[in-house]
Amino acid sequence: MVASPQDLTPEDYLQFEAESPIKHEYSAGKVYAMAEVRDGHVTIAGNLSVLLRNHVRGTSCRVYISAMKARIEARDRFYYPDVMVTCDPRDQKTSAYKHFPRLVVEVLSNSTEAFDRGDKFVDYQTLESLEEYVLINTRHQRVECFRRNEAGLWVLQYYTPETATFCLESIDFTASIAALYEDVTLEQAEETSDL
C-alpha cells in the first residue's frame, strides 16, 4: 500500500474516494491504495457474504462486502472490511460507510496479514458495537474468531476442517468449513509473496 503525499480531512477523503477509480483506506489524513486480491480471497469473501445474507434475511441486520467502508472515528480511520455485518439502525443513515458493525471479517493475504492481525485489529477494537473480529486464511482452511467477552477482553477460538463447522456467535450463525471454502484453491506461500 502506498500513502498519499497530502493530508486529507475525513470529508476530503470521502470526496476523493467517491471520484477514485481504485479503493483507498484512510488513516489520520493519509490514504493508502488497497492491495490487489487473488481468486481465493475473493471466492472466500463471496461464499461468506452469500451464507450471511441468507442468514440475516428478514432481520434488521445488513451484510456488506468489500465495497463498503467501516468508519473508526476514535482512531480517525476508514477501512474496507472484506465482509461486515451491522444490525444498528443508525447505520442506515450513512450510505458511504458504516459506524456500528457487530461483525468484521478480513480474508488474509501475505501483504496484509500482519496489519490485519495488528494495528487494524487494535483500531477495530475501539468500536463499541464490535462483538467479533474474524480472520480467514487463504493458505489453510482456518477461521480465527476473536470475540469480546463480558470483561471486554478479546478471546480467540479457531476452526479447521477437523471441527467441520465454524460459528459466528455475534449473529448466531453456523456453517460448514466446506461451504466457506467451496471452489477455493488454497494459495501457496511462495505464490503470494509478490503482493
The CATH number of the domain holding residue 47 is 3.90.1570.10
Q: What is the pLDDT of residues 108-167, one digit of tens each?
A: 988 889 999 999 999 999 999 999 999 999 999 999 999 999 999 999 999 999 999 999
Q: Identify whether residues 88 and 100 lie together within a single domain.
A: yes
Q: Identify whether residues 79 and 152 lie together within a single domain.
A: yes
Q: Identify whether residues 139 and 165 lie together within a single domain.
A: yes
Domain extent, residue 96, equals 37-192
Our count of domains for the chain comes to: 2
Q: Identify whether residues 50 and 145 lie together within a single domain.
A: yes
Q: Identify whether residues 65 and 94 lie together within a single domain.
A: yes
pTM above 0.85, yes or no: yes
Q: Identify whether residues 108 and 126 lie together within a single domain.
A: yes
Residue among 11, 67, 65, 6 at smallest CA distance from 32: 6
Spell 7-37 as b/e; 16+ CB within 10 A means b: ebebeebbeebeeeeeebbbbeebbbeeeeb
Q: 146 φ, ψ to 5°?
A: -100, 120
State the DSSP H helix or E strand holding residue 102, giving kind and residue range, or none if neither. Answer: strand 101-107
For position 187, what pLDDT does the model report?
Answer: 86
Q: Identify whether residues 104 and 85 lie together within a single domain.
A: yes
Residue 191 confidence (pLDDT) above 70? no
Q: What is the pLDDT of residues 23-60, one digit of tens each?
A: 999 999 999 998 888 999 999 999 999 999 999 999 99
Instruction: Tell me if residue 77 falls in helix, strand or coil.
Output: strand
Q: Identify whether residues 13 and 63 lie together within a single domain.
A: no
